[in-house]
Chains A and B, each alone.
Chain A
Amino acid sequence: MRPEIQEYNYDWMMGSTLKAAAALPTGTKKETELTYRYIPYYKNVAQSFYSAGAPGVQTLELLAKYYENILTAHAQGKKICATTFCNSPVILYAMDIVPVTFEILTAIGAMVWKRGMFDYMDFCCETGMPETSCSSQRGAQGAVLSGLSENIDFVICDTPGVCDTNANAFAYLSEYLDKPFFQLNYPSCIGDDRSQKYHVDDYKEMIKFAERHSGNKLDYDRLAEVLEEVNKQDAMIADLEDMLMLKPTPVPPIYNLALYAGRFCFSGHPQYTKLLESMVKTAKGYADAGISGLKSKEEKLRVFMCYIDHYTVNVNFYNYMEERGIANVGSILSRNFRDNNLYVKDMPGSSYSVDMSSPEAMLDTIAQMNARLPMVRSIRGPYDKKGMWLEESLACAKMYNADCMIYNGTPGCRNTWGMVKPFARDIEKHGYPCHIMNDDAFDDRVESWDATRERLDEFFKVRGLL
């Protein structure tokens, strides 16, 4: 790792960058112009957030707050838990534990810095992690492994059975730093009684682990409060997802990013509620006016991202969609599979409901909610089985009236790369043109953005979509 990188605390650096970025729109024009001069590379990125209106700035604030929590955790006597984006932070907030979600932090780094998270990613390989493992962990993980971030206290990972590379990264981290490790494990099916029970049993073990290592008992009153907040948030998420169905959709492409980034960071936290309120308000405004959420106000194409959509290197992908008039009708990451969502109707057993009638019911709720986080839910089993990847993608494409589907991921995603070719074939058979991106969503050293963009343009043109 370059020595100059080692001069700065990573959390502090990221937190202050985002805080400053969130404050910029309130400055004078002169101040703003002056700042832009000093951040030539970040200018475009910052502007893509500002141009999303209040929700854009709130996303920046939310992310800044996330870092602030990490930075102040130990001073406040709280424990820090390293966890994956597939694990809902709800339970941790209910237990007053501060989560650090690697994938989100890596994505932010890829957006904010010109060299992205390269140095941190490479540091992981320097310690011995294979370079073929997923870049989405390797970024933030590098900061933790190198001791440049706040110390973490323990690790909870919920991708075993879902994603090897992810689970492996967390297992490696815990061993490298000698921190306690817990894995939530998922069977290859969902919706049947047996797997439902497994979710709950496993979840209860996790709570015990978290109690042991944080010294905090799970407070059910606090859990009820958090779930109440989740209830509110889920209703707004359902609103946003319903609005995605409108043609043109009033939801700007980047809202999808904000929607799940917020959920992975602050589910059950008022900060996220505020962001959702503002997203719903803005989108409703567009909906009432019958206009597209795109800056150009002209929706030329509707794309459903059948895997992740967070190509975050300098926010290039979102800007690209804006430029080309492409509406992003979501990815599997934006879905939460709450029972009040329309898309769950055709997929019985796939959803969760919120029941706060008793502690036991709350635990059931949260275990089932967790079992339905994006990857956890839909890529845990054979893609063509009930409730899995194919069914979900087709249901969404149909519901949101998508014109085509795009697969985007990282070379580290062994699980989807293992099946994406037959999957794409099946998708095509159902009438949706499907493009497989060969890039790395967080590291453009794998494929340059120029090459990625060219392939996208070619796909839209050759398949007669744009």
Chain B
Amino acid sequence: MIVAGCDIGSLTAKAVIMENGNVLSDAIMRAKTRPAESANEVMQMALDKAKLTMDDIGYVVGTGYGREQIPFVDQVESEISCHAKGAFKTMPSVRMVIDIGGQDAKATRMDDNGNVARYIYNDKCAAGTGRFLEVMAEALEVPLEELGSLAAKSTEKLSISNQCVIFAETEVVSLVNEGKEIADILNALHHSLAKRVASLARSIEVKTNVVMTGGVAKNSGVFNALSEALGIELKALNGVDPQIMGALGAALYAQEKKELNK
């Protein structure tokens, strides 16, 4: 039985196709304004990779910000559950997932069976989200993928303190004007983001075995800064792309559902 998981976020769309618990293919693309469009397109990308058509898919679970708008889903699940499920399946020792998405950051704690025990979202403002990094990358004219490697070259410690994404952008621009190095500014941004996210995770109590999911997890700068801010070593997800974790979890839900219905 072939199933799929589709995760439509505010910045990116992801799809995973799975057969009997094995991933056949996955796809990631930048989200369009309308989630339905993103869903169709990203699903097609994954299908093409697996050389399948929509007719081959027995069940689809949708998740993410635009989950209600995915035209072809059979069921929707929250990102909280999907990321937890995906991470737990990838690495059964995981007890906490920190997911930095486009609009929000979330920390989720799981019990020994992988069930969600507690979770928390970022407070009101959007600082501490993927959007924060995106705006900054734009302001600094640095490609999103290069943020991590660039920040690694930092030599001077700077700090960015503004809570508001928009105002933080101004702060960044003034640092540029002061002639500060881009690498140092980026490093400061990563630490600022990491500290905000760390306080989220801590408020629901961090133990050990923490992983990071979502696209931002691929940014080594944030990854390391978060480890530092939490005071524990973040675990890498056994070589699985952390960005597809939500879609993977959704696919796992689809798999379960199919097994139940057998």
Residues of A within 8 A of B (CB): 411, 421, 425, 428, 433, 438, 455, 458, 461-464
A458 touches B78 (CB 8 A): yes
B81 touches A421 (CB 8 A): no
Given A425-B203, A425-B205, A458-B80, A464-B115 contact (CB < 8 Å) = yes
Nearest CB to that of A461 among chain B residues?
B78
**B77 proximity list for chain A (CB < 8 A):** 461
Question: Taking the nearest CB of chain A, how far is it from the CB of B251, in angstroms?
Answer: 18
Cα distance, A411 to B124, chains bound together (Å)? 10
Nearest CB to that of B77 among chain A residues?
A461
Question: Taking the nearest CB of chain B, how far is it from the CB of A215, in angstroms?
Answer: 48
Which B166-216 residues have a C-beta within 8 angstroms of A? 203-205
**B116 proximity list for chain A (CB < 8 A):** 462-463
B203 touches A421 (CB 8 A): yes
A462 touches B119 (CB 8 A): yes
**A463 proximity list for chain B (CB < 8 A):** 116
A-B contact pairs, 7 of them (CB 8 A): A421-B203, A425-B203, A438-B124, A458-B80, A462-B78, A462-B81, A463-B116
B118 within 8 A of A: yes
Nearest CB to that of B68 among chain A residues?
A454
B123 touches A438 (CB 8 A): yes
- State the main secondary structure of chain A at its contact with B: helix
Nearest CB to that of A422 among chain B residues?
B203
Q: Add 9 more A-B contacts to A458-B80, A461-B77, A462-B80 (CB < 8 A).
A: A411-B124, A421-B203, A433-B118, A438-B121, A438-B123, A455-B121, A462-B81, A462-B116, A463-B116
Of B80, B118, B121, B123, the contact of A428 (CB 8 Å cutoff): B118
A425 touches B204 (CB 8 A): yes
**B124 proximity list for chain A (CB < 8 A):** 411, 438
Which B54-85 residues have a C-beta within 8 angstroms of A? 77-78, 80-81
Which B108-142 residues have a C-beta within 8 angstroms of A? 115-116, 118-119, 121, 123-124
Question: Taking the nearest CB of chain B, how far is it from the CB of A459, in angstroms?
Answer: 9
Nearest CB to that of A436 among chain B residues?
B120
Nearest CB to that of B199 among chain A residues?
A421
Cα distance, A208 to B112, chains bound together (Å)? 62
**A455 proximity list for chain B (CB < 8 A):** 121
**B203 proximity list for chain A (CB < 8 A):** 421, 425
**B115 proximity list for chain A (CB < 8 A):** 464
Question: Taking the nearest CB of chain A, how far is it from the CB of B8, in angstroms?
Answer: 15
Nearest CB to that of A428 among chain B residues?
B118
Question: Taking the nearest CB of chain B, how far is it from the CB of A298, in angstroms?
Answer: 23
Nearest CB to that of B115 among chain A residues?
A464
Question: Taking the nearest CB of chain A, how far is it from the CB of B113, in angstroms?
Answer: 12
Cα distance, A461 to B80, chains bound together (Å)? 10
**A464 proximity list for chain B (CB < 8 A):** 115
Cα distance, A268 to B119, chains bound together (Å)? 44
**B78 proximity list for chain A (CB < 8 A):** 458, 461-462
Nearest CB to that of B122 among chain A residues?
A438
Cα distance, A462 to B203, chains bound together (Å)? 19
Cα distance, A221 to B115, chains bound together (Å)? 62
Question: Taking the nearest CB of chain B, how far is it from the CB of A292, in angstroms?
Answer: 27
Question: Taking the nearest CB of chain A, how far is it from the CB of B94, in angstroms?
Answer: 16
Cα distance, A455 to B119, chains bound together (Å)? 11
Cα distance, A433 to B121, chains bound together (Å)? 15
Question: Taking the nearest CB of chain B, how far is it from the CB of A223, in angstroms?
Answer: 46
**A433 proximity list for chain B (CB < 8 A):** 118
Question: Taking the nearest CB of chain B, how far is it from the CB of A228, in angstroms?
Answer: 48
**B119 proximity list for chain A (CB < 8 A):** 462
Nearest CB to that of A447 among chain B residues?
B124
Cα distance, A463 to B124, chains bound together (Å)? 22
Cα distance, A53 to B155, chains bound together (Å)? 71
5 nearest CB pairs, A to B: A458-B78, A421-B203, A462-B80, A462-B116, A462-B81
**B205 proximity list for chain A (CB < 8 A):** 425
**A425 proximity list for chain B (CB < 8 A):** 203-205
Which of A428, A433, A462, A464 has the most chain B CB atoms closer than 10 A to its own CB? A462
Cα distance, A411 to B125, chains bound together (Å)? 13
Cα distance, A438 to B81, chains bound together (Å)? 20
**A461 proximity list for chain B (CB < 8 A):** 77-78, 81
Nearest CB to that of B200 among chain A residues?
A421
Question: Taking the nearest CB of chain B, how far is it from the CB of A444, in angstroms?
Answer: 14
Nearest CB to that of A463 among chain B residues?
B116
Cα distance, A463 to B116, chains bound together (Å)? 7
Nearest CB to that of B109 among chain A residues?
A428
Cα distance, A259 to B103, chains bound together (Å)? 39
Question: Taking the nearest CB of chain B, how far is it from the CB of A441, in angstroms?
Answer: 15
Cα distance, A249 to B121, chains bound together (Å)? 32
**B121 proximity list for chain A (CB < 8 A):** 438, 455
Cα distance, A54 to B116, chains bound together (Å)? 43
Question: Taking the nearest CB of chain B, how far is it from the CB of A429, in angstroms?
Answer: 9
Cα distance, A463 to B119, chains bound together (Å)? 9
Question: Taking the nearest CB of chain B, how far is it from the CB of A108, in angstroms?
Answer: 27
Question: Taking the nearest CB of chain A, how far is it from the CB of B155, in angstroms?
Answer: 36
Nearest CB to that of A434 among chain B residues?
B118
**A428 proximity list for chain B (CB < 8 A):** 118
Cα distance, A381 to B41, chains bound together (Å)? 56
**B123 proximity list for chain A (CB < 8 A):** 438
Nearest CB to that of A458 among chain B residues?
B78
Cα distance, A458 to B123, chains bound together (Å)? 16
Cα distance, A428 to B109, chains bound together (Å)? 12
